[in-house]
Amino acid sequence: MAQVTIEGSEVIPTTFLAPGSRITVERTPFINRLLRKGYVNLVPDPPAVEHVEQIVETQRKAADNERALAGAPSASAAKSLWAEFLTSNDVDYPADATKAEMIKIWDARGVDND
């Protein structure tokens, strides 16, 4: 049998499960009777996969925004870090640009790069 989470009813209390208390149990004929008579309520399943994916995507975007707010890499950082930083901030630069050129492109935007 399937497992379900039930909650004690506030309207029709029972000694089986206190009002508001939750428990996960096997769905047996006994549990079905408690549900049918209103002694317990069925608690909805956890969020659907799509909802969880949406939450994860929102968290990823928030993390990306946090990194962007942290500022540009230091001038001594590797060229690959500067390239990644400029790309993540939608700043165009030549494919053959040196690190110094990347820094100049960023500085030309008038953005503080602590």
Query: What residues form DSSP beta bridges with 110?
Result: none
The kind and range of the H/E element at 11 are none
Q: DSSP string covering 69-88, please?
A: HT-PPPTTS-HHHHHHHHHH
* The model's pTM: 0.40
**Quick check: helix, strand or coil at residue 71?**
coil
Instruction: State residue 79's pLDDT score.
Output: 92
Tens digits of residue pLDDT in 63-103: 556 555 657 777 788 999 989 988 988 889 999 999 989 88
Q: Which of 55-64, 65-74, 101-110 has the highest mean pLDDT?
A: 101-110
The mean pLDDT of 29-55, rounded to a whole number, is: 84
Helix axes 49-69, 79-88, angle to 10 degrees: 120
Per domain, the residue ranges of the chain are 3-42, 49-108
Strand blocks (E) in the chain? 3-8, 22-26, 40-42
